[in-house]
Amino acid sequence: MNQVVDPGDTVIDATVGNGHDTVYLAKLVGPRGLVYGFDIQQMAIENTTAALKAEQLERQVTLTHAGHETIDELIAAKQPIKCAIFNLGYLPGGDKNIITKPATTLTAIQSIQKRLTTNGLIILLVYAGHPGGKQEAQAVTDYARQLDQHQFQVLHYGFMNQIHFPPELIAIQKR
């Protein structure tokens, strides 16, 4: 991400959770940039607000307590997006039954794809170990695999020597 995102860019944290990625992105875009952050849980919005305040980064972040599937309603169609991150699954330390879902994740990916700048990047951290995770991992993998190679470069990274269900990373970069 730090090779793609420049100060002043507009980016998205599609699942803010406890705010670690939001803080990272807010630092990368700097005070002239903008991070749009989404989460369906009030606790995630509160935790992320606190994490941003602690580092005085609130100014460049707009947090929305809503699902990332509402991106089309909240972000202008003409707004170029340089990067987006999805850290899928459940909120660490929160309710493990509240998880990201295949249909809404795919809706959000498609909304962002339409706004992605040349070389812009969507990063998805995908977890298959929790109930529902395998189905979402499959849906995201299937979707990414069929993208036109002339329009998007898709990379898939995974741990080869970890037990259980290590996360996988899918990177979709616009050509």
Query: Which residues of the chain form contacts with ligand SAM (CB under 6 A)?
Result: 14-21, 38-41, 44, 67-69, 87, 89, 91, 98, 100, 104
The CB-of-132 to ligand SAM minimum distance in angstroms stands at 11
Nearer to ligand SAM, 19 or 120 (CB): 19
**Category of 10 on φ-ψ map: left (φ > 0), alpha (ψ -120 to 50) or beta:** beta
Nearer to ligand SAM, 18 or 111 (CB): 18
Nearer to ligand SAM, 98 or 171 (CB): 98
Helix axes 20-29, 42-54, angle to 10 degrees: 50
Nearer to ligand SAM, 24 or 152 (CB): 24
The CB-of-84 to ligand SAM minimum distance in angstroms stands at 12
The CB-of-14 to ligand SAM minimum distance in angstroms stands at 6
Nearer to ligand SAM, 41 or 173 (CB): 41
Sign of dihedral through CA atoms 133, 121, 50, 43?
Answer: negative
**Category of 170 on φ-ψ map: left (φ > 0), alpha (ψ -120 to 50) or beta:** beta
Residue nearest to ligand SAM (CB): 17
Reported as type and span, the H/E element at residue 11 is: strand 10-13
One-character DSSP codes across 26-82: HHHH-TTSEEEEEES-HHHHHHHHHHHHHTT-GGGEEEEEB-GGGHHHHS-TT--EE
The CB-of-175 to ligand SAM minimum distance in angstroms stands at 27
For residues 14 and 16, give the distance between their C-alpha atoms in angstroms, rounded to a whole number: 6
